[in-house]
Amino acid sequence: MLRFLTRRILFGLLVLWIIATAVFFLFYIAGPGDPARLFAGRQATEETVAAVRRQLGLDRPLYEQYWDYLTGLFHWPPDLGTSFINQEPVLNTIIHRLPVSISIALGAAVLWLLIGIPIGILAATRPRSVADRSATVIALAGLSMPTFVLGMLLFNFFFYQLTKAGYPIFPANGYVPLLENPFQWARHLLLAWLTLALVFAATYSRLTRGSLLEVLGEDYIRTARSKGLAERTVVFRHGLRSALTPIVTLFGLDLGALLGGTIVTEKIFGLPGLGALAVQSVFTQDLPVIMGTVLVAAFFVVVANIVVDMTYALLDPRVRLT
C-alpha cells in the first residue's frame, strides 16, 4: 500500500510539473502582451516598465526565470506570484476565494450522490419496470439540460418570482462563511447546489444502473443468492460495493474539477469562488492569477485521482494495490 501511494504521489508531482511548465511557457512566452507592461499598467512610461521588468526578473535569462518559478511553486507555502491588479500575493487571493468553491463543490456532490445513486439502484433492481423507465426519462432530461439553463430557471423562480410575490426566501447573491452563520451559508448556496446536483445526478443514476446490472449478473452474485441470502444483502453488501468502482472514478474527476471553480454556476448566483476569479482575471489580463487558478485546479484533480485509486481497494476486494 505504501509503495503504491508513494508511486502515485510521485506520478502526481510529475503531472503537476508538466502542467506548471506548460502554463509558464504559454503565458510568459507565447502569452499576449508584455508581462512587465501588464503589471505596470497601461499608462506607465517606458522607464517604469523597464524598472518593473527588472523587479520581476524578466530581464534575466529564460532558464533562470523558469527555475525561480518552479522553486517558488514547490516551497511551502507556494509562491504563485503577485497579482497585476491588486498587487497582493496570488496565494492569498486564492485562499480567500477557495472556501466558496469548496462549499459549492462538496454541497452539490452530497446532493447528487443522494439523488443519483438511489435512483440508479432502484432502476437496476427493477429492470424494464415503470421505475426503471421513469429513471431513464429523468436521467435523459438531466443530461439534456445545460447548467446555465437550469441555473437561470431556478434563479428566476426561486429568487425572482418568490421575491416579487413577497417571499424573499433566497438571496440574490453573495456568500456567508459557514462558521459565521451556518443557516445563511446554506441559504446562499442551496440554489447553486441544486443546479449542479440535478445535472450531475442524471449521469450518476445511469452509471449506477449500468454498473450494478453488470455486477448482479456475475457468478458470485448467483452463488450468494443460491445460499439463501436476502436480496437486500445481495444487492447492497455484495453487488453495490463492486458496482461503485466506476462511480468513484467519475466522482473523483468531477469533484476535483468542481473544486477548481464552477464558472457558470458562480456567475449566475453571484458567488465569489475560484471560477469567478478566473473569469475576472481573464478580462483584466491578470496573468499570475490565471496561472494560479489553473495550477490549483490541476492540484485538486491530481489529489482526487490519488484518493480514488486508494478507495478502489476498500470497495472491491478483487483490487490489489501493489
Mean pLDDT by 10 residues, the chain (322 residues): 79 89 78 65 72 73 82 84 82 91 92 90 83 78 79 85 81 85 91 90 87 84 81 80 84 85 84 88 82 89 84 64 57
How far out from the chain centre does Cα 232 lie? 33
- Check residue 230 and give its pLDDT: 81
Q: What is the pLDDT of residue 78?
A: 86
pLDDT of residue 33: 62
| Amino acid symbol at 145 | M
- Domain positions in the chain are 17-89, 91-315
Q: Which of 268, 236, 147, 157 is nearest to 198 (CA)?
A: 147
User: DSSP labels for 229-246?
Assistant: --HHHIIIIIIHHHHHHH
Any idea of the CA torsion for 57, 60, 61, 63, to the nearest 10 degrees?
-30
Cell of 168: 424573499
**Which are the contacts of 113, defined by CB distance < 8 A and separation ≥ 6?**
204, 251
> Span 91-315: which CATH code?
1.10.3720.10
